[in-house]
């Protein structure tokens, strides 16, 4: 994209700026409100309502969480660990599977691809999934419990990457390499992987968020709370708080024994959940760079 840009190009870019600024404002305002309501004094919320600039600031929610730091720190570690390992494994599997399925004359490829697509439309439900991962492959209380069930690979990602490889990576490149005597695995490593960076960044982002936000696997397959992820903690606190609030009359005195976290604490935890992803996101963006085909074909 060299040379002088035409007036039209400049106009389109200007419209782009305006639209993106609007979208960014709409995205950031609620987040700001999220942060400010996590530091707003509870009685002030009830009296003055939520506001972007809280009149009475209180960091008690964060102090409360700081008190639980041992547990939260550990949960952070578990989440980051599973996200990094899981996403790496997943990208490897998804790209390899998708590449093979893009080989044009591979016998049985359509059948396999449809079988994979089918998994997006139907599933057996939680109970049979649980039984499979406890009776057939027992993942309980191992690291696999957090990595494997439902997160590692899915039909959607395979479809995305396969379509990209089929449509956007020139076939001539692969054929040329093949003629030079390169094996399939060699082509995969040398050509497919580097050239599918944009789609792998997309799929990687999707997968990483899947791992980051997952709490189901922890809930079902991990009984030791040492291995609880940050999302599982947040989810347990949130869902139980609202359950207890709506059953308080039945629970009676039992409910009163329980410290239900305040709204501010719940907000503070979700701030803590989001911040690391925001910080890590630029890392992904490195791979969102276009225009490398030219060099690849020529070289």
Partner 1 sequence: MKKMTALFTTAAMSLTALFGCANAFAEEGAGDVWTGEIEPVVVTLLNAGTDNPYLDQVAEKLNEYLGDKIGVEVSFRQVSIFNAASQYTMWIGGGETVDLLTIAYAPVSAFTGMNMLEPLDDLLQYAPHIQELAEEGYAIYCPSADGHIYGIRTLNPPVSNGDGMYFWKEDLEEAGLEYEDNQLVTLEDIELIVSKVKELHPDAYVGVYGSAPRSGFTIEADPLGANITSGVILGTESTEVVNYFETEEYQDYIKLLRKWYEEGLVKKDAATTDALEGGSMTNDPENCRMMWNEYNTGIIASYEEATGKEVVALRTAKRNQNALTDTDCYTGIPVTCEHPEAAMRFLDMMYSDMFVENTCYFGIEGVNFDYTDETKTAYVANPDNGFWALGSGNRMLEPMQGVYKEDTVQKYDQFAEEINSSPTKGYGFLYDPANMTNQITAIDAVLQEYRAALETGSADIDTVYPEFIKKLKANGIDDVIADKQAQFDAWLAEN
Partner 2 sequence: MKARKKKVNFKRFIPAYIMLLPGLAYFVINNYIPMYGITIAFRKLDFKKGILRSPFCGFDNFKFLFASGNMGPIIRNTVLYNLVFLALGAIVPVAFAILFNEIRAKRVKKLYQTVVLLPYLMSMVIVSSLVYNFLSADMGFINKSILEPLTGQTVSFYQEKKFWPFILTFVHEWKGLGFSMVLYLSTLLSISDDFYEAAKIDGATRLQQIRYIMLPFLRPTIIMMLILGISKIFNSDFGLFYQVPKNSGVLYPVTQTIDVYVYNALMNQNNIMMSSAASVAQAAIGFTLVIVSNLIIKKISPDDSIF
58 lies in the site for partner 1, by CB under 8 A:
no
Give me the 155-184 binding string for partner 2, x by CB under 8 A, dash otherwise: xx-xxx--xx--xx--------------xx
Binding to partner 2 by residue 106, rule CB under 8 A? yes
Out of 143, 177, 244, 274, name the contact with partner 1 by CB under 8 A.
Answer: 244
User: Shortest CA distance to 186 belongs to which of 201, 168, 200, 173?
Assistant: 173
Contact set for partner 1, span 248-267 (CB under 8 A): 248-254, 256-260, 262-263
Q: Does 290 bind partner 2 (CB under 8 A)?
A: yes
235 Cβ contact list (under 8 Å, min separation 6): 215, 219
Tokens encoding 260: 């239900």
Question: Using the rule CB under 8 A, is 42 a contact of partner 1?
Answer: yes
Q: Nearest Cα to 272, choosing from 283, 264, 260, 262?
A: 264
148 binds, among partner 1, partner 2, none (CB under 5 to 8 A by kind): partner 2
DSSP state of 40: B
* 278/275 Cα distance (integer angstroms): 5
Q: Which is nearer to partner 1, 80 or 263 (CB)?
A: 263
60 belongs to the binding site for partner 1 (CB under 8 A): no
Residues facing 249 on adjacent strands: none
Kindly compute the dihedral angle of the four CA atoms of residues 120, 187, 168, 203, in this order, to the nearest 10 degrees. 40
Cα distance between residue 293 and residue 299, in whole Å: 10
Q: Which of 72, 80, 85, 96 binds partner 2 (CB under 8 A)?
A: 96
Binding site for partner 1 (CB under 8 A): 42-43, 46-47, 126-127, 130-131, 134-135, 219-220, 223, 225, 228, 236-237, 239-254, 256-260, 262-263
């Amino acid at each position: 994209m060299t040379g002088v840009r035409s007036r039209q190009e400049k106009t389109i870019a200007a419209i782009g700026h305006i639209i993106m600024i609007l979208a960014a404002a709409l995205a950031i305002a609620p987040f700001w409100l999220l942060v400010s309501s996590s530091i707003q004094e509870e009685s002030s919320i009830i009296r003055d309502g939520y506001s972007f600039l809280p009149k009475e600031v209180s960091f008690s929610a964060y102090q409360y969480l700081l008190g639980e730091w041992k547990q939260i720190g550990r949960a952070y570690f578990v989440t980051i660990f599973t996200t990094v390992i899981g996403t790496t494994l997943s990208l490897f599997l998804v790209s390899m599977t998708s590449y093979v399925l893009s080989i044009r004359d591979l016998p049985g490829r359509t059948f396999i691809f449809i079988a994979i697509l089918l998994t997006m439309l139907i599933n057996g439900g939680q109970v049979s999934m649980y039984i499979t991962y406890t009776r057939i492959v027992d993942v309980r209380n191992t690291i696999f419990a957090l990595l494997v069930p439902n997160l590692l690979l899915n039909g959607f990602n395979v479809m995305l990457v396969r379509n990209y490889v089929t449509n956007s990576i020139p076939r001539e490149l692969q054929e040329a390499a093949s003629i030079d005597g390169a094996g399939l695995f060699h082509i995969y490593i040398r050509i497919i992987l580097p050239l599918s960076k944009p789609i792998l960044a997309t799929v990687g982002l999707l997968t990483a968020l899947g791992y980051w936000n997952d709490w189901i696997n922890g809930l079902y397959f991990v009984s030791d709370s040492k291995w609880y992820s940050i999302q599982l903690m947040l989810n347990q606190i949130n869902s139980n708080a609202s359950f207890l609030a709506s059953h308080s009359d039945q629970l009676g005195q039992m409910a009163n024994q329980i410290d239900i976290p305040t709204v501010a604490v719940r907000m503070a935890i979700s701030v803590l959940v989001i911040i690391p992803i925001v910080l890590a996101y630029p890392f992904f963006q490195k791979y969102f760079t276009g225009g490398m085909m030219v060099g690849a074909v020529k070289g």
